Structure 1
Amino acid sequence: MFSFKVSTTLLLACSIIRAVDSTKKVTTCYNGDNVQRLSCDTGVIQVHSALYGRKDNETCSEEIPPNQLADTTCSLAGTTALVKTGCDGKRECELNPNTVRTSDPCRGISKYLQTIYSCFPAIHFATCEGSLANLQCDQGLQIRVYGADYGRRDTTTCIYKRPDAQVQNVLCSAPSPKVAERCNGKNNCIITASNSVFGDPCPGTYKYLEVAYICEYPTTNPEESLHPLIRQYKYRCVCSHSPHQPGSPAVMFSFKVSTMLLLACSIIRAVDSTKKVTTCYNGDNVQRLSCDTGVIQVHSALYGRKDNETCSEGRPPRQLADTTCSLAGTTALLKRRCDGKRECELNPNTVRTSDPCRGISKYLQTIYSCFPAIHFATCEGSLANLQCDQGLQIRVYGADYGRRDTTTCIYKRPAAQVQNVLCSAPSPKVAERCNGKNNCTISATNSVFGDPCVGTYKYLEVAYICQYA
């Protein structure tokens, strides 16, 4: 275990950029059924090249007769562009060689799909249908969209209180150029995640907009445009942040080396930048906050109206007239629900404890950042252990007990015990017991936290940092 000031962390981060951008090669032999999977633990996929055909007589040659390996100059034109369209900007991408096999480039030859890609540290987020996607960069930088898809490709994103029928179709997501067309080259940009903008790839399915982008300095050098990673970090290896107040002096943190390497690159671009999510109120829309790395820290939240332009489409002027409308306590409620989590979804009805301005069209707008914290889950019946280096003390960011997904703590558990994903509840008990200590152990049990969902197998989710007193 080592201790670093944030500035030292950034120096290390700059030195590992080459490792972050290292390339991966995936080869899938063609038999009609095989699936190629590209994935990034951190960052998003950037496809460099893709080949469908054959370039040697050894790859995918097992049990193949020599006459089917003879042509080593066989390739299908357009394969790279097709794989880039399907995968660039995503954290995971699966495709079958049949997807790219628009024709047969060499009849009688045994072919394969080979993709070379890297994981690029881009800003990645999903915006639920009916909400506004907000892309923004620091002053002097401009947006460059890596990829954008509208639709649905999983059953875990933007599902809060949605009926199963609206989230089961995971084959309807389609790439769209509209975000790039509208936002590239701008310092900030807002676009609505709606069918009216992107069309409806799957009627009856509740959809979301998935976007990956970077903030870069403007350039007229075409060679630099080929190396966005160098451009992004060439000028920006400075940062300071405090968990109490954005922009305040640097704080000392302690990370395990493995945690350091995971978070270092994201610290440069994320720790001192904020994200803004706006969700128009119609009773059904879902607001989603998420962090690729680190955990959510809510800075402010507004339920009401502060201007006459946001969420104004189709609204009469009288419903936009009051621009000083806000519900007290919204920020505190969002912080309780979302601080310390990697993902947080909620409906504006969750915060609508009363109507702050009757007759006025309202929206929920949240400003947050992703803060590098130690994050883990402990299954029910086990002990959660929080510990810091000597001289450092624990500060809990957030803790929830219950269940909010069907993938955590499920080993050999019957389906009935892991299906209730709406039972997780924030708890102050971990903070009360552990804050200010150098190490702390707490049992993930109903006897400590109560039972938010009888019959469901639960887990304790904790996010904390180690800081100097």
Structure 2
Amino acid sequence: MDDKRSSAAATVSIQRFRAFLCVGISGFVFYNPTSAIQERSALVCENSLLTLDCEKKTGVIRISKANYGRLNLGTCNSLGTIEGWNLRCIQPNSKGIVAERCDGHPKCSITASSEVFGDPCVNTFKYLQVYYRCEPRTPPYTTESTTGTTTTRKAITTTPLRRVCDAVYIEGKNWPYTNVGDVASMKCPPPKVGTVTWRCTGRGWLGERPDDSKCELPVTESPSGETTTQKIRFCEMTVSQGIIWPQVRVGKEVERPCPEGKLGKVTWKCTGAGWQGERPDESMCQLPIRAPIVCENSVLTLDCEKKKGIIRISEANYGRINLGTCKSQNTTDEDVRCIHPESKRIVAERCDGHPECNITASSEVFGDPCVNTSKYLQVNYSCEPRSKHTVTYFE
């Protein structure tokens, strides 16, 4: 009997001690593994789309840390660059930018680009790293109503308030990310003139569709007494495919780098009726082709004739960044940090715009970036359509 009392007293003491640890004398909350929410992380390279998803956990996203920049050499470095990059590249507003788009949502996407975050370190290839938690949705509360002898309980679930409304495409318009309380506006579709508006609230966009009640047909008197209509002169700034498209004049075509790690350019033309088509033209976007590596003094052939396209070089290096490729007998003195910074330019001068080209991997062509080291040539490229000729336009 005494043993049971001692055991019970010990249990109570342990529970009180745990409670003391949780509350603390200064009000701090200590880590409790039974109730803590696991922190997750996600990372994508520059110009790729990052998606955070808490839908499977039936929760909402809460951003804890984020940075768009670079803090090491190893991440997003397919060619083994060893110098010239800023390894203290921090965008201090990264968390706020990601949180505005994602906090309180079950799922969200954001592009890791300088158009979204600004460029914290020019001439450095960056990446976006985000730490987040999937928090439970606001728990439901119940209301009771009694009729005679019957009591009815009804569960009511509250939805977390948003800080920003997601970008959305509706009725031929791309509505951009908008802060709660702000009103997004766009020009009315021709031939009407005026402004279409849509208010962002804590519960999302107000109503099922934008408010076009202020759109009217213009009335101007011509010498013959006929009514004429007015075409738009600009296409408004918008967001589509995770890319920000600036305001441009009618007749201009805008180019942007392809999203999600693809090579090439995505284009969108501004017409008198607004942006052409429902979405930008991604026909020039392609996954990179990794050419066979050729050892020193061998000939590399790049071929886009079968694809009826022309060559566009994306990455190249004549040198050595490991011991395993094109092995030589002299393995002890090989320089595995041998990077030729002009490799891409030299290959591009020979190959860009051609359906096929040959180039010799030799120091006579490239110069010798590391004497007494056997080298090799590595090239990544894409095949672009021949018929597509555009001019980059920024306004």
The two structures share one fold, judged by TM-score above 0.5 = no
Higher relative contact order (CA 8 A, sep 6+): 1
| Pairwise TM-score range, normalised by the shorter structure | 0.3 to 0.5
- Normalized against structure 1, the TM-score is what? 0.28
Greater share of helix residues, 1 or 2?
1
